[in-house]
Structure 1
Amino acid sequence: MTQIIQSLADISARYDALFVDLWGCVHNGVTAFPEACAALIAYRERGGTVVLVTNSPRPRGSVETQLDGFGVPREAWDTIATSGDSARAAAYDGAVGEKVFFIGQPDEETVFLHPLQIQDNPIDITTVPLDEAEGIICTGPFDPLADPATLRPQLLHAKTRGLKLLCANPDIVVDRGERREWCAGAVAQLYTEMGGESLYFGKPHPPIYDLARRRLAATGKNVPTEGILAIGDGIATDVLGALGEDIDSLFITGGLAAMETKTADRPDEAALKAYLEKEKSAPTYAIGFLR
C-alpha cells in the first residue's frame, strides 16, 4: 500500500542517498521549484547524498549548466547521472555503428556526438543520410510539438533495412512550463511498434542505474540498495525503474499525473489508488510535490 506523505523529511532519515528525477520534480523546464530545492538542501545538510538521475539526452556538464540557468542551487545536489551519458557510452562502443542517422534538435546533436572523456578507444561516429546509415541515434523528435507519427516514413525505411535505434531519453512526454512536448521515448516506442529494434539507456532501464550507483560511489559513499530512495513523477520511468532495482520510491503526483491523481496540494487518495491500479504500480510513498 502506497503511503501518502507531507514532506520528504517525514521519511528521509531512513535513507542515505536519493536518486532524484529533475523535470517535474526539481524544475519545470523553465525554472526551479524552490520548495523542492530547499528539501534537497536540508537533506544534504543532515548528511544525505543526492544523485540527480535524469533522462536528459545531454551529458552531465550540459545539464549542470542548464540547472544553473533554471536557478537550481549547487547546494541541492552532489552528482548527476544522465541517460545521455549512458547512451553516449554505448554509442561510442559501437552499439549502432559508426555511420548514424541522427534524429533530434541541432544543439542536441552538437553536445551528444563527442566521445566521453573517460572512454577508451571510442569509435569515430559520423552523421549521414538515412540511406547510408548503419544505425539511428535519437535524442528526441525533430519537432517536439509534432506527433511522432510524422516520422513514420523514415522509421519504416529504417526498419526495412534492419537498423537499430538508440534512444537517449526513454521519456514519452515532458512538460516545459505549461507546454507538453514529445521526447525520444515516443519515437522509440513507435519504432518498436512498427517492428524495429530500439535500445534504451535511461529510466526505467538498468544502464542508467548502474551509472547512478557508480556516480554515487565516486562521492565516497557506499550505500546499499535499501539505503536508496528514488524520487520522480514518471510512473513508467522513475517508479517502474525503482521497482526493477528493488529501490524504494517516492512518487511525485503533481507532475505528469497531476490530472489523473487530482493533485492540488496533495493527491486525492481515491484518485491515486485508481491511477496506481490502472498502471499496475505500487510506489512506496506518494506526495503532491517534492518539499
Structure 2
Amino acid sequence: MFERIDGLAAIADRYDGFVFDVWGTLYDGGAAYPQAVAVLQRLAAAGKAVVVLSNSPRPAAVVAERLDGIGIPAALYREVITSGGECHRHLRDRPDDFHAGLGPLAFGFDPGRFAHILPGTGFESTPELEAADWILNAGPRSGLDTVADYEAALARGAARGLAMICANPDKVVYEQGVKMIHAGALAQRYEELGGRVHYHGKPHAPVFARSIEVLGARPDRVLVVGDNRATDVAGAVAAGLDSLMLADGVHCDDLLVAGRLADERLRAFLAVPGPQPLWVADRLGW
C-alpha cells in the first residue's frame, strides 16, 4: 500500500542509493524544476549515491551536458545511464544473438534522432524501408505527430518481419506542458501489428541492474524516483526496488487538481491494476 509524503527528507535515511528519472522528474525540457537541484545537493551532502537514469535516445554525455546547463553538475551524481547509450553499446558490442543477428541497414522514422546511436557500431541507416534489415525507433519526426501518421510504415515493417529496436520506451512525454508522443507509442503499435520489438531502457531489467551496480548499494536500500508508473515504477517493482512516484509529471492530468495531488484521483489511478509505488508525492522536493 502506498503512502503519501511531502518531501524526500521523510524517507531519505531509509536508502543509501537513489535512481532519478530525468524528464518529468528533474526537468521537463526547460529549466530544472525548482527543488530538483536542492534535493540532489542534500543527498550529496549526506553521502548518498545517485544515478540518473533516462529513457533518452541520446548518449549519456549529451544528457549530462544538458543537466550541467540547467544547473545539475556531474558532482551531484555518479553516472548518467540512458536508453540511447545502452542501445549504442549493445549494437557496438553485439553481446547476444539478437544484436549479433541484425543486418547492416537500419531504417528510422527520423534519422536525426539517432545520430549518436549508429556511429561506431558497424551499422548504417537507410531512408528506404524496403531496403532496411531492421528498424531503429528513436522516436517520431515530431512529438506533435500521432501514431496514425506512421501506420503505413509500421504495417509495412511488420509485414516484412523486420525486428524493431526501441531506444526510448516512453510512450508520451510532457515538454514544457505540451503532451507529445514518443518512441514507445510507435513500438506499442508495432507489436499490435505483429511486429517484434526489442527495448532498451526503463522498465526493462538491464538498466536497473546496471544502476544498482553503479550505486554499489543493496537493492533493499535503493529508491527509484520518477513520474511514470509504466516505466519508473514498473521497472522498480520488477527489479525488487522501492519507488517514489511524482504526481506532477506524465500523469498530471490524471492526478492533479489546481496543481495539487488529489487523494480521490490518486486512489482511482492506483486502483487500476498495475505496478504500485511505495511512496507518492505531489512533486520532487526535500
TM-score (normalised: structure 1): 0.91
Q: 2:236 aligns with which of 232, 242, 258?
A: 242
Partners of 1:143 and 1:266 lie apart in 2 by 30
Q: Aligned-pair distance for 1:134? A: 0.8
Asked whether the 8 Å contact 1:253–1:263 carries over to 2, the reply is no
Report 1:49-128 matches (<5 A): 49-92=49-92, 93=94, 95=99, 96-104=102-110, 106=112, 108-115=113-120, 122=121, 124-128=122-126
Q: Deviation digits for residues 158-184 of structure 1, max 9, x if unmatched? A: 111110000000000111102121111
Partners of 2:103 and 2:131 lie apart in 1 by 11
Q: Deviation digits for residues 262-288 of structure 1, max 9, x if unmatched? A: 255642222111100125332000001
The one-letter amino acid paired with 2:90 is A
Asked whether the 8 Å contact 2:245–2:280 carries over to 1, the reply is yes
Structure 2 SS opposite 1:103: coil
Partner of 2:263: 269
Q: Deviation digits for residues 48-67 of structure 1, max 9, x if unmatched? A: 01100110011100111111
Asked whether the 8 Å contact 1:149–1:190 carries over to 2, the reply is no
Asked whether the 8 Å contact 2:58–2:114 carries over to 1, the reply is no
Distance change in 2, residues 1:58/1:32 (3 Å): same
Partner of 1:191: 190
Partners of 1:138 and 1:267 lie apart in 2 by 34
More displaced 10-residue stretch of structure 1: 152-161 or 231-240? 152-161
Mapped pair 1:203 → 2:197: no
RMSD: 1.6
The one-letter amino acid paired with 1:14 is R
Partners of 1:97 and 1:86 lie apart in 2 by 19
Partner of 1:164: 163
Aligned residues: 278
Mapped pair 1:259 → 2:253: yes
Q: Deviation digits for residues 80-118 of structure 1, max 9, x if unmatched? A: 111111112222326243211122351x22222223xxx
Q: Aligned-pair distance for 1:187? A: 0.7
The one-letter amino acid paired with 2:205 is P
Asked whether the 8 Å contact 1:265–1:289 carries over to 2, the reply is no
Mapped pair 1:288 → 2:282: yes
Structure 1 SS opposite 2:256: coil
